[in-house]
Amino acid sequence: MKCPPVYRITLVQGAVLAPLSLFCWLTVGQLQAVSLFAGGLVAILPQAWFAARVFRWRGAQATAAIARSALAGEVGKFTLSMVGFAAIFALLRPVDGAAVLGGYIAMVAIQITGSWLLLRQRPADRD
């Protein structure tokens, strides 16, 4: 059983976040762009870590390892997200909270859409 190409979602998120932040910098301002970028990273990095943990095992014989990895991955993802938000609001001064939340929501929307598209593919369509 092949691993689904979940890494593509992270690549797409990065490919969207960088130009979106640059566009925000040029049109709105540096504060909003940096805040947007930081919020996007809080979504991307924990999700990439989760995917790496969960999809490193394959096959029916690895069921227990998959379950342990999924639990550890979810706990780690939640912890990394909390630490990320805490670090942004504690260390990034000044910060635009709406831009942080906007970047986070945009990257989560890409992650949900990408996951949905991967699930819709037939197994032969995946590489």
Burial degree of 52 (CB within 10 A; 0-12, 13-18, 19+) = middle
Local structure of 92: helix, strand or coil: coil
**Per-residue model confidence as pLDDT tens for the chain (127 residues):** 566 677 888 999 999 999 999 999 999 999 999 999 999 999 999 999 888 887 766 666 667 877 788 888 889 999 999 999 999 999 999 999 999 999 999 999 999 998 888 777 765 555 5
